[in-house]
Structure 1
């Protein structure tokens, strides 16, 4: 289709000398990861070198993010937001996802990278997760309802501070960040029985709702739906085990919610969110 070919031409025009595929420097990791997966859908020998270079770029970026090497000093602040104000947790998830889906093209390079940087990456993820055992961390004592949840930004707290001073805008757990953390653990091949994974899953199920993105209201709503579809499909979860929706099929409920929110022209809320909604539908359909 001409429109698809035009899209591929645009992606190729965004290739940078460092292997990244982006135009906005502050979003380079997320955009490169998304572009690489799009190029993967068009099997062609001419794209293999582009994808390989993009993989190398992503691995370098993740090494910097996880503290394994020095890189662009403008990449992030000390609290986990990149220079464009996007949570580094989301950037990490997108990068790991792109590496996972392209690893078969290049043998063991992905496995070797994840193995060598495993502890650093898991430590990075752990910084965004409320401790599963909050009693071990006085900073989060009394926040049992947040156990296992993921926040967008690291709390700017000195050691003696109390959780009540945490900036609620960024550092309270949210649904989309919880699923981003859960997916990151899955892409890192963390066992499903691992307390960190179980803690995340417990928080997500305990705070499950389709009316909003828990913790963020209507913000990132369709991204929340997409990450839910990805993560729970990977978990092979069918019926929700606990809470007011116990025993109900999450795919069925999410599909109905997406249909209710679709506009007459076929879009969802606004053009920027339609892509996330369509991808969520695709994942739901493939699991039926």
Structure 2
């Protein structure tokens, strides 16, 4: 096992772990990168991938079994491809290329059938039944899932390391058979993904200090806290970069650079030099398409980089910011990518590797677009509003009904927001008629508020009012509200620093100093939030860390500290 860890460290870029967690290969990130490339190879006229049925079936399978488990409704890259396979079905029920030999007809029909079983839909269900009838008439048995060599965790880890080390620089595999090989390797890697995940039961949660114990703070105390946090970040820096030793991470670096710039000017000379060096490194990562990243999460990192570069006010980065802005606009799910305005994902933006848009990434992209100077009234903001509406539980402006596995996911009416249309990590309200309504929760409802503000929606707009009413009724600095029905006691603490940061930024933009809670009490949120963060700051090194839930890198004190500094900056008067 020691040899495996040595290989892992030498060969692979790894996610920075929480304290006490072992490092593992970033299979999800690798799959995201390869799937993004596969999507770019689709024939937009026919919907196929590669040269026909076999490759199209394997690519669809790769999307379906990948860590993100894509479905037909996720966009044209799935629906058009399944439509291509359905269109290849002949009158007798077989599915194959026109010039296929008899053995190829059998194999291609089998592959297409397996994909249809993974991607149930009205059209694929009918095609699957006909294909199975044809196979039965030919005494063809459906093959079980491929039995890959790795059947235990250590062997899966070894094979995963091998596959990731064999990738081309762009994250794909193969040469002339690149599309097919890449799809097959994603399928194999996806089989190891679940096996490699740490298995642990939810642990006990340490309660945060009660608000009454926090008290109020003054500007001087906040400035001192910022400096202590900045000093912690400086000790972890390597030439203006942050990440695992010797492997800087662009996303983490951009967050920290923005956080360090919360220190009032003139800043200590060493801090300013680190900021200057770090911004130059970030700008050096810009690619021909305008994106700024180190090979993963193109939207998230480009957005974060824009915010860091724009915050500096340095005119030398104006061109880089402008090019990055155009890249973000190009990522939006719209007509250019085959999405019609009535598609649930229309107007959204995802990670830039994940092919599903979500509210978290959209609000960050909108903030970056605003910081980059994108003028109000731009079509990107108008398109974004359509997606924002579909994330909000307000049926007057959200009529989306998403059917998955025979269940309809529709909008509720509490005014809050979920992660994406019809999808909420906080769970669902199940109605008597079988429909499910995604539960609203705090961090995404603040993200919705931010999104509406950047998109130009006014305070007196009914959508904005409904959002603000939910936030006031669920005001909390103890947990991320909305997870009351979760069976996981850590759920309300997951992403807590993200919640604090999104909350502070959203309310500050909204322009109020007092929140009226569900009991009608006026809450001076700025003092309370600053007091909460100061109470959570380490007395030893000035850092912050999410001790209750390390998920989403918040067990990493570098990211948690960056969030804390950005939150204090937004909350202080």
- TM-score range with shorter-chain normalisation? 0.7 to 0.9
- Aligned pairs for 1:181-200 (under 5 A) are 181-200=448-467
1:90 aligns with 2:360: yes
> Secondary structure of the equivalent of 2:419?
coil
Q: Partner of 2:203 in structure 1?
A: none
Per-residue displacement from partner, 1:7-47 (whole Å, max 9, x unpaired)? 1232023211100111243x211211111121123344431
1:149 aligns with 2:416: yes
User: Is the 1:22–1:32 contact (alpha carbons within 8 Å) kept by the matching residues of 2?
Assistant: yes
User: Is the 1:179–1:204 contact (alpha carbons within 8 Å) kept by the matching residues of 2?
Assistant: yes
User: Is the 1:132–1:196 contact (alpha carbons within 8 Å) kept by the matching residues of 2?
Assistant: no
Q: Partner of 1:125 in structure 2?
A: 388
- TM-aligned CA deviation for residue 242 of structure 1: 3.2
1:251 aligns with 2:526: yes
Find the partner of 1:50 among 294, 311, 320: 320
Q: 1:32 to 1:143 in 2, by over 3 A?
A: closer
Find the partner of 2:544 among 263, 268, 282: 268
1:210 aligns with 2:477: yes
User: Is the 1:230–1:280 contact (alpha carbons within 8 Å) kept by the matching residues of 2?
Assistant: yes
CA distance in 2: counterparts of 1:15 and 1:90, whole angstroms: 23
Find the partner of 1:99 among 369, 374, 398: 369
- TM-aligned CA deviation for residue 137 of structure 1: 8.4
TM-score with structure 2 setting the length: 0.42
User: Is the 2:293–2:302 contact (alpha carbons within 8 Å) kept by the matching residues of 1?
Assistant: yes
CA distance in 2: counterparts of 1:187 and 1:118, whole angstroms: 8
Unaligned runs of 5+ in 2: 1-271, 402-407, 484-490, 546-556
Q: 1:124 to 1:262 in 2, by over 3 A?
A: same
Q: 1:123 to 1:43 in 2, by over 3 A?
A: closer
Q: 1:32 to 1:135 in 2, by over 3 A?
A: closer
CA distance in 1: counterparts of 2:388 and 2:397, whole angstroms: 16
CA distance in 1: counterparts of 2:316 and 2:523, whole angstroms: 46
1:224 aligns with 2:499: yes
CA distance in 2: counterparts of 1:60 and 1:78, whole angstroms: 15
- TM-aligned CA deviation for residue 154 of structure 1: 2.6
- TM-aligned CA deviation for residue 234 of structure 1: 1.7
Q: Partner of 1:106 in structure 2?
A: none
CA distance in 1: counterparts of 2:527 and 2:536, whole angstroms: 14
CA distance in 2: counterparts of 1:70 and 1:266, whole angstroms: 46
Query: Could you say what the CA RMSD is over the residues aligned between the two structures, in angstroms?
Result: 3.2
> Secondary structure of the equivalent of 2:336?
coil
How many residue pairs get matched?
A: 262
CA distance in 2: counterparts of 1:182 and 1:102, whole angstroms: 20
CA distance in 2: counterparts of 1:53 and 1:186, whole angstroms: 24
Per-residue displacement from partner, 1:204-261 (whole Å, max 9, x unpaired)? 1111111111134111111111111111112221222232471121111111111111
1:279 aligns with 2:566: yes
Q: Partner of 1:20 in structure 2?
A: 291
Q: Partner of 1:110 in structure 2?
A: 375
Find the partner of 2:278 among 7, 17, 25: 7
Q: 1:18 to 1:43 in 2, by over 3 A?
A: same
Q: 1:153 to 1:173 in 2, by over 3 A?
A: same
Q: 1:31 to 1:235 in 2, by over 3 A?
A: same
- TM-aligned CA deviation for residue 111 of structure 1: 3.1
CA distance in 2: counterparts of 1:199 and 1:38, whole angstroms: 32
> Secondary structure of the equivalent of 1:99?
helix
CA distance in 2: counterparts of 1:151 and 1:7, whole angstroms: 35
* Structure number with higher helix proportion: 1
User: Is the 1:134–1:143 contact (alpha carbons within 8 Å) kept by the matching residues of 2?
Assistant: no
CA distance in 1: counterparts of 2:308 and 2:452, whole angstroms: 23
CA distance in 2: counterparts of 1:135 and 1:91, whole angstroms: 20
CA distance in 2: counterparts of 1:258 and 1:21, whole angstroms: 31
Per-residue displacement from partner, 1:57-88 (whole Å, max 9, x unpaired)? 111113xx2x232189xxxx979865449862
Pair member with larger Rg: 2
User: Is the 1:261–1:268 contact (alpha carbons within 8 Å) kept by the matching residues of 2?
Assistant: yes
